[in-house]
Amino acid sequence: MTVDLVQISNCVTRKPIPGLDTYCPSQRDPHRNNFCFHHIYILQILGSWTQMFQIMTYWSIRRPLLKCITDAYSFNFITFYIMFGGFFLCTSVIYKNDRFLPPLQVLCVQIKCFHEIITIGYSVYHSYHLPWFRTLSWYFLLCVNYFFYGETVTDYFFTLVQREEPLRILSKYHRFISFALYLTGFCMFVLSLVKKHYRLQFYMFGWTHVTLLIIVTQSHLIIHNLFEGMIWFIVPISCVICNDIMAYMFGFFFGRTPLIKLSPKKTWEGFIGGFFATVVFGILLSYVMAGYRCFVCPVEFNSDSNSFTVDCEPSELFQLQDYSLPAALESLTGWVRVRMYPFQIHSIALSAFASIVGPFGGFFASGFKRAFKIKDFANTIPGHGGIMDRFDCQYLMATFVNVYIASFIRGPNPTKVIQQLMALRLDQQLHIFNSLKAHLTEKGLLPANEEVA
C-alpha cells in the first residue's frame, strides 16, 4: 500500500491517468466523485492500518471476551456488526485498483462455513474415526471450487486467458478436467466403503454434497454479483444486516406477538418494523452509493495494465431522473417531483426480499440447529457463534440478487456473445448472420437493400 506522490499531484493537476480516473474529479459533476479524491490514498493507509489493528485486537482479546461477555447478547450483536462493517469497509471499498480482494474474502467465508457444517456432520454421525472422510469432503470442496472459479476466470479474464498458453488449455478443457477430478473423488469414495460403516459413509457423502450445493454455489453467485458492480454486492449484504439489526431493535423495544414457533424470540412487531426500516435504509444507502463510479461500474480486468478497473459510463440505472410522485405521497410530503436513481426502485425490491424471505433462511438455520441439538454452528466469534450463524440469511439473498440481475437488469454480455460466435464453425456463423440480418431488417434497423450473402 504505497502512496505515490506523483499520482497525487497528477490528480490535483487534473491529468487523467488510465486506471486511476475514478479517483480524479471528473468533468461531469452529477457523479459526485468528491469522495474518491486524492485523499483516498491517505484513507487507504488509514484503512489498512485500522484493518490490521482490528485483526490483532480481535485475536488477542478473543478469549477474555468470550469469558466475560457471553451473556450480553445485544452488546455482542452490535459490536459484531460494527466490527464487520469496519472490516468490510476498509477492505472492500477503499482499495487501489490493482488489488481486488472481495472474491478472496468470499472464499474465506465460504471455506469457514463449509468447515463448520461438516464438523457438525462429523459430530452427529460420530464419523471422526473414518479418516478418509475428512479428506474426501475437503477434496470435493476443492473440486467444486475449481470448477466454479475456472468458469468465472474464463468469463471475466478472457483476454488474459487467451494469451497464456497453459491457461488457454486449462480453460478449453476446463469442464473435462473438473469432471475428471470429481470422478476421482467419487471412485475414492466407492473404494473407501468399509463393511460396517456403509450407512455412515453414505450419510456423510450426502451431507457433504448438500453442504456444497448450498454454500459453494451461492458464494459464487455472490462473486458474480460483485463483478456486476460492487453496489450489487454491498447493498444486498447491508440490507440483510440492517434487517437483522432493525428487527432485533424493534423486537426488543416493542415486541409482543410471537412470529413463529421455531424461533420464539422473533416477533411480528420486529418483523414489520424491520421491513419498513430496511426499505428506508435501502433507499438511502443506494442513493449514497449510486453517485460513485467505483461502486456502480462493472469490475473489468484490464489486460494491458494487468489490473482491475472500475471505470465506465454508468448505465441509465445510475443516472438521476425525475419522477413525479403519485398523488397520495404528494399530498403527504408536499413534493411534486423527486430526483432519484432508478436503482433506488430496484433497491426497494431487494430490501423487500431481504425482510420478507430472508428471515426464512434464518428459520431454516434455527430449525437445523434444533434438529441436531446444537446451540451454535461453532464458536468462532465470541457471543455470536460461528460464521455460519451470521451468514445464514445472506445465501438466499445472493441467489435472489443474481436471478434478479439476470432477469431484470442486464441481458447477456455482448463481448461474451461475440466470443461464442467466433468459436462456432463458419457455416453456423453464416446461418446466424442470415437470421440476424432477417431479424434486423424486420425491425427496420437495417436498410432493406443490403447485399445478400
Partner 1 sequence: MTFFMNSGICGIRRCFGLTPSPAKESSETDGEDRLGLTGEPDGEADGDSKADTPEIPTSVDNTPQCLNKALEGLSSRWRNWWIRGILSFTMISGFFLIIYLGPVMLIIVVMTVQIKCFQEIITIGYRVYHSYDLPWFRTLSWYFLICVNYFFYGETVADYFGVLVQKEEPLQFLVRYHRFISFTLYLAGFCMFVLSLVKKHYRLQFYMFAWTHVTLLIVVTQSHLVIQNLFEGMIWFIVPISIVICNDIMAYLFGFFFGRTPLIKLSPKKTWEGFIGGFLSTVVFGFIFAYLLAQYQYFVCPVEYDSETNRFAVECQPSELFVMQEYRLPAALQNVLRWVMKMYPFQIHSVALSTFASLIGPFGGFFASGFKRAFKIKDFANTIPGHGGIMDRFDCQYLMATFVHVYIASFIRGPNPSKVLQQVLVLQPEQQLSIFNTLRSHLQDKGILPPPRPEAQ
Of the listed pieces 38-46, 48-56, 180-188, 326-334, which binds partner 1 according to CB under 8 A?
180-188
Q: What angle do CA 389, 394, 399 make, to 5 degrees?
A: 140
Of the listed pieces 25-33, 132-140, 194-202, 319-327, which binds partner 1 according to CB under 8 A?
194-202
The 10 Å CB-count burial string (b at 16+, else e) for 412-425 is eeeeeeeeeeeeee
Of the listed pieces 25-33, 37-45, 48-56, 417-425, which binds partner 1 according to CB under 8 A?
417-425
Using CB under 8 A as the binding rule, whether residue 436 contacts partner 1 is answered as yes
350 Cβ partners below 8 Å, 6+ apart? 235, 236, 239, 282, 397, 400, 401, 404
14 Cβ partners below 8 Å, 6+ apart? 24, 25
Out of 50, 302, 307, 399, name the contact with partner 1 by CB under 8 A. 399
Of the listed pieces 233-241, 316-324, 329-337, 414-422, which binds partner 1 according to CB under 8 A?
414-422
Instruction: Give start and end residues of each alpha helix (H) in 130-173.
Output: 131-156, 158-163, 165-172
Max distance between CA atoms of the chain, in angstroms, equals: 82
> In Å, how far are 34, 232, 305, 392 from 294, measured between CA atoms?
12, 12, 18, 28
Looking at the Cβ atoms of 202 and 323, the one nearer to partner 1 is: 202
Using CB under 8 A as the binding rule, whether residue 430 contacts partner 1 is answered as yes
Residue 30: how many other CB atoms lie within 10 Å: 10
The 10 Å CB-count burial string (b at 16+, else e) for 196-227 is ebeebbeebbebbeebbebbbebbbbbbbbbb
Residues 213-232 interacting with partner 1 (rule: CB under 8 A): 213
| Site mask for partner 1 (CB under 8 A), range 109-148, x = bound | ---------------xxx--x-------------------
Using CB under 8 A as the binding rule, whether residue 364 contacts partner 1 is answered as yes
Using CB under 8 A as the binding rule, whether residue 262 contacts partner 1 is answered as yes
- Can you tell me the distance from the alpha carbon of 392 to that of 377, in angstroms, rounded to the nearest whole number? 10
Using CB under 8 A as the binding rule, whether residue 375 contacts partner 1 is answered as no
Looking at the Cβ atoms of 288 and 423, the one nearer to partner 1 is: 423
For residue 260 the three cell numbers come to 413463529
Residue count at the site for partner 1 (CB under 8 A)? Answer: 78
Using CB under 8 A as the binding rule, whether residue 200 contacts partner 1 is answered as yes
Looking at the Cβ atoms of 196 and 256, the one nearer to partner 1 is: 196
4 Cβ partners below 8 Å, 6+ apart? 41
Nearest distance in Å: CB 290, partner 1: 21
Of the listed pieces 66-74, 236-244, 278-286, 412-420, which binds partner 1 according to CB under 8 A?
412-420
Using CB under 8 A as the binding rule, whether residue 81 contacts partner 1 is answered as no
Q: Which is nearest to 145 in space by CA: 117, 103, 184?
A: 103
Nearest distance in Å: CB 133, partner 1: 13
Using CB under 8 A as the binding rule, whether residue 159 contacts partner 1 is answered as no
